[in-house]
């Protein structure tokens, strides 16, 4: 018995055995992920087809809303315990098909998909075989192909992701960007939501801060000028910002960017006080993160405030101490729009903070 035990003990410590076990575990994990993706993909294909069937039947038979309610009831009766076929979800299936298969959408999607795919082709490690296929298909894209390609594309991300994109975005370009980016980089739903709040589409596709899709992935960002992209795709920072913003609302009834930086420990109180005493020429000089990260944080907070229905209130930050009070500078350039962005306080609608005390800091 002891001999068998010794053999087992030697085996589990043997390098070749450890390599074997490690390889098998990796293969099992890979297979499980592939199986999960396959199930998710087939589910989205099914939802697309159900949405199409509802749209076509409503058009041909002039059926109204009651058909969706009846369908939901009958499906759940036929398949008890099965989830995903509520009235609301059937309406979402219908919306998915209507939005992505409409002639208006497809007419805009053809050139826009080519533009986005031209960036996807340069990514260093896409996580979706479908994205690779779509990238190879760019030169052949035409109006006849695009509907089928859209069906394939939306099936590359989970249903919850698709619902989120439909709920949070409107423009064709935005929707294509977030669907394709989620598929390409494997974003979780919470990361996707944070990207939408941080206006990742506007920064990447409109402002041109990323040269290609690979530049939006943190692992491929090395240059200081792209540090904001690291933060913007960092779920931990985004969640921390939400928590800080909510804490400030509870404590003060408003959010200021200065308070956010201090809560994050990016700005020391002693440095803030020195700035207020005119001992530091501009505040950015003592904020401990670079300008890209500062920009991301301020945009994220503004988007979060919009989602919560907060009101903007601009505050005059003046110097402390003896002598004449002077207006303080936040940025090195002193450019008006930058200064105004820093001075923006985001206030609860019912708060009474619009007083002389608040507006004279």
Give the pLDDT confidence score for residue 210 in this predicted structure: 42
Percentages helix, strand, coil for the chain (3-state, rounded to 5) are 70, 5, 25
**Domain assignments of the chain as residue spans, ordered by start:** 1-93, 102-227, 236-359
Q: What is the pLDDT of residues 86-121, one digit of tens each?
A: 999 999 999 999 999 888 888 777 677 666 665 544
Q: Any residues with CB less than 8 A from the CB of 86 and at least 6 apart, and which? A: 72, 76
Q: What is the pLDDT of residues 273-322, one digit of tens each?
A: 999 999 999 999 999 887 777 888 888 898 888 888 899 998 889 999 88
Per residue in 172-196, is it b (16+ CB within 10 Å) or e — as a string? bbbbbbbbbbbbbbbbeeebbbbbb
pTM: 0.52
End-to-end CA distance of the chain: 80
Give the residues across from 256 on adjacent strands. 345
Tokens of 91: 């309406």
Give the pLDDT confidence score for residue 138 in this predicted structure: 46
In angstroms, the CA 167 to CA 162 distance is 9
Give the pLDDT confidence score for residue 145 in this predicted structure: 64
- The pLDDT mean for the chain works out to 76
Handedness of CA 195, 196, 199, 205 (dihedral sign): positive
Q: What is the pLDDT of residues 244-281, one digit of tens each?
A: 999 999 999 999 999 999 999 999 999 999 999 999 99
Give the pLDDT confidence score for residue 181 in this predicted structure: 82
In angstroms, the CA 148 to CA 136 distance is 15
Residue 6 in this model has a pLDDT that exceeds 70: no
Give the pLDDT confidence score for residue 129 in this predicted structure: 53
Q: What is the pLDDT of residues 36-88, one digit of tens each?
A: 667 788 889 999 999 998 998 888 777 777 888 888 899 888 888 878 889 99
């Amino acid at each position: 018995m002891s001999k068998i035990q010794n053999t087992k003990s030697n085996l589990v410590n043997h390098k070749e055995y450890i390599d074997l076990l490690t390889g098998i575990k990796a293969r099992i994990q890979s297979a499980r992920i592939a199986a999960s993706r396959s199930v998710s993909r087939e589910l989205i294909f099914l939802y697309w087809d159900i949405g199409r069937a509802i749209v076509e039947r409503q058009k041909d038979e002039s059926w109204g809303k009651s058909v969706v309610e009846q369908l939901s009831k009958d499906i759940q009766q036929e398949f008890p315990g099965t989830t995903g076929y509520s009235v609301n979800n059937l309406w979402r299936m219908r919306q998915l098909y209507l939005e992505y298969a409409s002639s208006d959408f497809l007419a805009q999607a053809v050139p826009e998909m080519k533009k986005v795919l031209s960036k996807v082709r340069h990514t260093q490690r896409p996580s979706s075989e479908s994205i690779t296929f779509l990238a190879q298909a760019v030169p052949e894209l035409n109006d006849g192909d695009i509907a089928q390609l859209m069906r394939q594309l939306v099936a590359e991300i989970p249903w919850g992701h698709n619902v989120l994109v439909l709920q949070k975005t409107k423009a064709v370009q935005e929707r294509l960007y977030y669907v394709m980016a989620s598929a390409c980089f494997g974003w979780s739903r919470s990361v996707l939501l944070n990207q939408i709040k941080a206006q990742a589409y506007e920064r990447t596709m409109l402002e041109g801060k990323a040269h290609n899709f690979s530049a939006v992935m943190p692992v491929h960002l090395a240059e200081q000028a792209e540090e904001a992209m690291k933060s913007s795709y960092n779920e931990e920072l985004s969640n921390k910002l939400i928590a800080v913003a909510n804490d400030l609302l509870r404590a003060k009834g408003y959010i200021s960017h200065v308070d956010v930086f201090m809560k994050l420990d990016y700005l020391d109180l002693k440095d803030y006080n020195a700035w207020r005493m005119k001992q530091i020429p501009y505040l950015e000089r003592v904020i401990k993160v670079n300008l890209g990260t500062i920009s991301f944080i301020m945009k994220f907070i503004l988007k979060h405030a919009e989602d919560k229905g907060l009101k903007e209130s601009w505050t005059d930050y003046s110097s402390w101490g003896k002598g004449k009070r002077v207006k303080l500078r936040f940025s090195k350039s002193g450019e008006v729009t930058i200064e105004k962005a820093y001075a923006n306080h985001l206030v609860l609608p019912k708060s009474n903070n619009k007083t002389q005390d608040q507006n004279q800091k």
